[in-house]
Structure 1
């Protein structure tokens, strides 16, 4: 789609967009009929003006004058009524369409691989889902149907002009091709300009979203001035992109206005001379006045069409970007038919290879087994592949080769939803929504009741902490849980995992940034929720490692040792023993 940037119009894209009106065909056809009627009403009033001048004003017939004024008023009321219906239902149709597209887009994004979000700027995705889709609505409210209405009006006006006076119409047609050519050039230039505008809007949104989210880092490292200057540069590019569209408008609209004035002047000059010098019955003062009105009606839609094409082009650019996301194939294959339920929790990794970037393996053929009910600790240096293991178990990423099974069933054979329902994950970086603690724990799950949450909180020792907060379980933690400490956020994450009653628990139980009281609560919560269920823990504390039934030691994507704490300490020059002496011995002494 992106290759069509230079084309004035992409009919394939337009056809795809129009297909979203299929559920609303009656409204679509009604708006089309209203557009036709408006084009007819457009010539009725000038024609009544011509009759009024020729049959009432010139012969000074006051009786007919009143009649024609009433007729003009009636035509105006009907035109206003259909104009109202046309505008209302065109906008209504646009809102229905973008609602459907936005829902489809969000559903599509919900199923993207985690890898897609690793590579995509959140600000750009927000722009696509919000402002770009709003721009698509303008295709229907201010673009498509307005253009159709204006084109029909122009055709009807031209045809009516020929019927009334072909000589005066030829004068109009002398200037018209020049304006049409200028309009065509204008459309092409504006298409390219609006592509640039949308690109700069995305860049601006992405930059602002990221800096607001990371404002703490900006202020900690005193980067305010640098980020301010960076923002000024991006904002300047955004301004220049819009100024380019203003430049094209500044050239085109005066040309169109001048062309209209020249045409009216030619008609008044030629028609006036004909009325004065000849007795031609088909040409009268009323006809000249009517032609002045019709010329304005002909050129005004032409100017408006160019303006509406701006709107249409912006909408098409936005649609191109939105459909690019809808066409992105970045989902985990959900071809499994087995529903995972009440799993025993026996896990096997068999010669699993995985890479985030092709030919750069993160896991290099790892194999291990976790028996049902066991707690397995994974230790190793940063970048050893520990977190990758827990991501692969829940199928956030697809393995390159090898096999992962749960209860001797390949995880690819489970339906994705049922598999993830049976695995609860508590990450080191806890994410909380700007909502109440209760909603952050249940995540809207209808089967998890308030009393279940409170009872679970008591069992793992966090009820007291929650009860001390204003509104207790209905305390709003604000965006990303900023109203809570890191330790408190992690306790909420433990409770969220516990109430889901998973068959398998995966924990990244880092406590480097929590106070000693929260750390003690986290340790107690860890012991409680891992008891009796299969658990894989990326261990950061010696206490957790010692209590594990098995320790998997990783280094550079490979398993270098497996055993209990005591078994691994007995290996001379072993990797774990060295890690223990450097990292854990001091903790044990304390």
Structure 2
């Protein structure tokens, strides 16, 4: 029985290149603009680039000089059987090829440096742009797809700069130089050699019109694969918990298959180029030999010599080789442009709103926050409607309500991840829009539901709250967060290395580390978003104790579903559909017997 699985890898569905995402075509910059932007990065290395161009010019000239000397040797020495002077010509030929080889080495060596510096700057700028984009941008996109732009797309540009820039420039110079010398030697044979150009042009046009869209599609599918892989690896616990391995494997297979198909057709169609060029090369050689031979016989070398025919066959190869290289490099260029467009699309995204010109830096704050008739909406969907409340210094404000009530939105507005649409939010009487974002957030600390830890030691993760903190301060913060005990029982204590997901410690222990991080930052405003959810009772007691210590003397905003965590809050705000429907402390709200009371009953 035949194994049908052996057949699968060789099945490729036809790609309809006319269906390349229309939206991406609208957003993508045209080739000229993209190349110009890449050039702006390359042009930074003007000195080295000048040397590279000089070496390319030298290598192109000496590449033309070699065949010319061989032709002269045939006509002047071999046919005439004259040896006098042949030795000098051979020495000159050796010198020509040595200089040509050295210039090739130097141009490639220097171009690698230019390419690496260019890509370094491009990758640096893209990474910095990530930090200038608003939170909303990352909320709408797969993180793996964005990572693909920083890695795969920029690597694509790097490969093209290393291989294509020199080749394109060298090929153009070689084409011009070869054509000039060929016309000088024999206009007739030049016309014969050029007769294949129209065929070559239409063949290359047919190929590149198909490979260009396919390379764009390939880069997009690669981004989707990376995005999906990042998502599934991050959610591996959920996948295994629900036994969905087969489902996610099938979903990956679909994306991988799309990438396989586009890659197959892009490489297959572009693979026609060397075959077509070789066929046309052989045709050109044959025509030059045929016509040249006839001219030698008919004209008795008055029009063409044997050496000229030899030179022409080599020049014909040198003429079609640059065309072949240009065609191949053009395909690489299309692939790089596809990647560059994806990179520049991120670069062109609207950055987080700049601080107002008159925004100031605040050195300290009392933590007095006031909302006055504040309204806000995400993309024309109203989330907060005419909200007003006051948080005095040191008070704890608890936000309660069902999902979508607007609790997290209030947190986002206080921290200026988003700007409110109308109304006014003040800190110590100053409109928060008049405060620089970095300055405002430097006085805040966050303890969120998902405790995020970086790859590194426990000490480094805690110190992230205050990079200048000493080891003693880090350990003191851990003690105040009730984290010191479990840390001391780890094999390497504070030097224990954690993965990004904090493998090796429990969810509650991760949360204790984030509390220690917040304590070390010594903020005046504290934001707790479901900080005790999904925590066992014993650990919750430790966390509650640590949080009480953390909240002491600080203005705190607490989002919580567990009502026992907010009983002692100074103000509890019951929210529904973006409005505050009840406000007071626990006892006063219980007496009202409204929504808050119903949640307890």
TM bucket by the smaller chain? Answer: over 0.9
Structure 1 residue 395, shift from structure 2 partner? 0.7
**SS in structure 2 opposite 1:362?**
strand
**SS in structure 1 opposite 2:196?**
helix
Choose 67-76 or 310-319, whichever is displaced more.
Answer: 67-76
Choose 427-436 or 513-522, whichever is displaced more.
Answer: 513-522
Structure 1 residue 2, shift from structure 2 partner? 4.5
1:312 to 330, 333, 344: 333
**Is 1:240 paired with 2:238?**
no
1:356 aligned residue: 378
For 1:66 and 1:6, locate their aligned partners in 2 and report how far apart those are by CA, in whole Å.
59
Kept in 1, the 8 Å contact 2:466–2:520? The answer is no
2:159 to 138, 159, 162: 138
**Is 1:215 paired with 2:236?**
yes
Structure 1 residue 333, shift from structure 2 partner? 3.1
Structure 1 residue 504, shift from structure 2 partner? 0.7
**Is 1:506 paired with 2:537?**
no
In structure 2, do the counterparts of structure 1 residues 579 and 227 end up closer, same or farther at CA, with 3 Å as the change threshold? same
**SS in structure 2 opposite 1:361?**
strand
Choose 541-550 or 488-497, whichever is displaced more.
Answer: 541-550
For 1:111 and 1:65, locate their aligned partners in 2 and report how far apart those are by CA, in whole Å.
68
1:579 aligned residue: 599
Structure 1 residue 38, shift from structure 2 partner? 1.8
2:6 aligned residue: none
In structure 2, do the counterparts of structure 1 residues 357 and 569 end up closer, same or farther at CA, with 3 Å as the change threshold? same
Structure 1 residue 424, shift from structure 2 partner? 0.7
**SS in structure 2 opposite 1:381?**
coil
CA distances 1:382-422 after superposition (whole Å, capped 9, x unpaired)? 22221221121101112222211110111111011010000
1:516 to 496, 513, 537: 537
Structure 1 residue 542, shift from structure 2 partner? 4.3
Structure 1 residue 263, shift from structure 2 partner? 1.1
Kept in 1, the 8 Å contact 2:402–2:576? The answer is yes
2:203 to 156, 178, 182: 182
2:282 to 261, 286, 294: 261
1:339 to 361, 367, 391: 361
The alignment of Structure 1 onto Structure 2 pairs a total of residues equal to 578
**Is 1:565 paired with 2:586?**
yes
**SS in structure 2 opposite 1:424?**
strand
Moved over 6 A (4+): 4-7
2:10 aligned residue: none
For 2:47 and 2:336, locate their aligned partners in 1 and report how far apart those are by CA, in whole Å.
23
**Is 1:166 paired with 2:202?**
no
Kept in 2, the 8 Å contact 1:2–1:320? The answer is no
For 2:167 and 2:183, locate their aligned partners in 1 and report how far apart those are by CA, in whole Å.
24
2:436 to 403, 415, 421: 415
In structure 2, do the counterparts of structure 1 residues 135 and 367 end up closer, same or farther at CA, with 3 Å as the change threshold? same
**Is 1:376 paired with 2:397?**
yes
For 2:267 and 2:150, locate their aligned partners in 1 and report how far apart those are by CA, in whole Å.
26
Choose 327-336 or 35-44, whichever is displaced more.
Answer: 327-336
For 1:401 and 1:469, locate their aligned partners in 2 and report how far apart those are by CA, in whole Å.
51
Structure 1 residue 188, shift from structure 2 partner? 2.6
CA distances 1:442-485 after superposition (whole Å, capped 9, x unpaired)? 22844222211111222332211211112211211112222221
Structure 1 residue 145, shift from structure 2 partner? 2.6
1:379-528 equivalences under 5 Å are 379-443=400-464, 445-528=466-549
For 1:438 and 1:332, locate their aligned partners in 2 and report how far apart those are by CA, in whole Å.
34
Choose 159-168 or 273-282, whichever is displaced more.
Answer: 273-282
Structure 1 residue 62, shift from structure 2 partner? 4.1
Kept in 2, the 8 Å contact 1:4–1:10? The answer is no
Choose 480-489 or 412-421, whichever is displaced more.
Answer: 480-489
For 1:297 and 1:559, locate their aligned partners in 2 and report how far apart those are by CA, in whole Å.
79
1:587 aligned residue: none
In structure 2, do the counterparts of structure 1 residues 457 and 251 end up closer, same or farther at CA, with 3 Å as the change threshold? closer
For 1:293 and 1:35, locate their aligned partners in 2 and report how far apart those are by CA, in whole Å.
20
In structure 2, do the counterparts of structure 1 residues 441 and 325 end up closer, same or farther at CA, with 3 Å as the change threshold? same
CA distances 1:97-130 after superposition (whole Å, capped 9, x unpaired)? 1111111111111121111111111121101111
For 1:466 and 1:459, locate their aligned partners in 2 and report how far apart those are by CA, in whole Å.
13
**SS in structure 2 opposite 1:355?**
strand
In structure 2, do the counterparts of structure 1 residues 424 and 90 end up closer, same or farther at CA, with 3 Å as the change threshold? same
**Is 1:204 paired with 2:225?**
yes
In structure 2, do the counterparts of structure 1 residues 302 and 496 end up closer, same or farther at CA, with 3 Å as the change threshold? same
In structure 2, do the counterparts of structure 1 residues 168 and 120 end up closer, same or farther at CA, with 3 Å as the change threshold? same
2:178 to 129, 147, 157: 157
Choose 127-136 or 62-71, whichever is displaced more.
Answer: 62-71
Kept in 1, the 8 Å contact 2:360–2:435? The answer is yes
CA distances 1:267-292 after superposition (whole Å, capped 9, x unpaired)? 11111122233323452221111111
Choose 172-181 or 525-534, whichever is displaced more.
Answer: 172-181
**SS in structure 1 opposite 2:390?**
strand
Q: Unaligned regions of 5+ residues in structure 2, if any?
A: 1-22
* TM-score with structure 1 setting the length: 0.94
Choose 249-258 or 86-95, whichever is displaced more.
Answer: 249-258
Choose 91-100 or 417-426, whichever is displaced more.
Answer: 91-100
Choose 360-369 or 419-428, whichever is displaced more.
Answer: 360-369
* TM-score with structure 2 setting the length: 0.92
In structure 2, do the counterparts of structure 1 residues 373 and 464 end up closer, same or farther at CA, with 3 Å as the change threshold? same
For 2:133 and 2:273, locate their aligned partners in 1 and report how far apart those are by CA, in whole Å.
44
1:91 aligned residue: 112
Kept in 2, the 8 Å contact 1:456–1:495? The answer is yes
Kept in 1, the 8 Å contact 2:447–2:531? The answer is no
For 2:59 and 2:409, locate their aligned partners in 1 and report how far apart those are by CA, in whole Å.
63
Structure 1 residue 509, shift from structure 2 partner? 4.1
1:31-70 equivalences under 5 Å are 31-70=52-91
